[in-house]
């Protein structure tokens, strides 16, 4: 069966990557396959998760090649025939030159209900700190296409999560990962992969 080749870009522990690997094994993702895990951090534990799953890995460090960072990423993506890019905790902003090369082929998961608590400076625990400071009763996660505006691309899927009394940024972060991110990211991957396959079939 024809499958869309997916690259997952990571910087840290790779919990969202693991959710994608598990979803592929469970048959939730059937239209795509993870063909490459690429990190800008050579010490990212996500690389170990990829190797354990038998997925090819690559490291491209901005520190080591600041002038050619994106070109080297593009070269790796081309080498593996990648058609869909998933940003899963990738802590490096990609330029408009990069994102415009892959229109509606890059997706990201953000730990809030966009347009709340998103945009420049909103990543990691900062998102959950802001939600708690504001006093919202509901937060969640959003999967969206990536364009030149941070968190500005078209929304693919969202899932709401209750904010509980006594929540800390850490407890809220964990609940949103478990109840929203790890569910809607694989489902969004499948949806976009299926759309890419349908478009290819129609163009043949």
The set of catalytic residues is: 110
Residue 30, CA atoms < 13 Å, CB-side half-sphere:
4
Q: How many other C-beta atoms are found inside a 10 Å radius of the C-beta of residue 164?
A: 10
**CB contact at 8 A, 151 and 114:** yes
Place of tokens 């809220």: 172
Tokens of 146: 């990536």
DSSP string over 64-123 = T-TTTHHHHHHHHHHHTT--EEEESS--SPPPHHHHTTSTT-EEEEESS-TTSS-STT--
């Amino acid at each position: 069966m024809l499958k869309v080749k997916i690259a997952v870009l990571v910087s840290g522990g790779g919990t969202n990557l693991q959710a994608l690997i598990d979803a592929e094994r469970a048959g939730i993702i059937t239209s795509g396959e993870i063909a490459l895990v690429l990190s800008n951090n050579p010490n990212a534990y996500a690389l170990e998760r990829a190797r354990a799953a038998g997925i090819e890995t690559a490291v491209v460090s901005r520190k080591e090649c600041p002038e050619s960072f994106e070109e080297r990423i593009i070269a790796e993506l081309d080498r593996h025939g990648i058609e869909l890019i998933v940003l899963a905790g990738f802590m490096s902003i990609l330029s408009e030159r990069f994102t415009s090369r892959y229109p509606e082929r890059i997706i990201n998961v953000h730990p809030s209900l966009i347009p709340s608590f998103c945009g420049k400076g909103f990543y990691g625990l900062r998102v959950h700190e802001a939600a708690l400071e504001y006093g919202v009763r509901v937060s969640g996660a959003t999967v969206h296409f990536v364009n030149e505006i941070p968190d500005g691309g078209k929304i693919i899927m969202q899932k709401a999560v209750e904010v509980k009394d006594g929540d800390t940024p850490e407890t809220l972060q964990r609940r949103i990962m478990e109840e929203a991110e790890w569910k809607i990211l694989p489902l969004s991957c499948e949806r976009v992969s299926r759309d890419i396959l349908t478009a290819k079939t129609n163009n043949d």
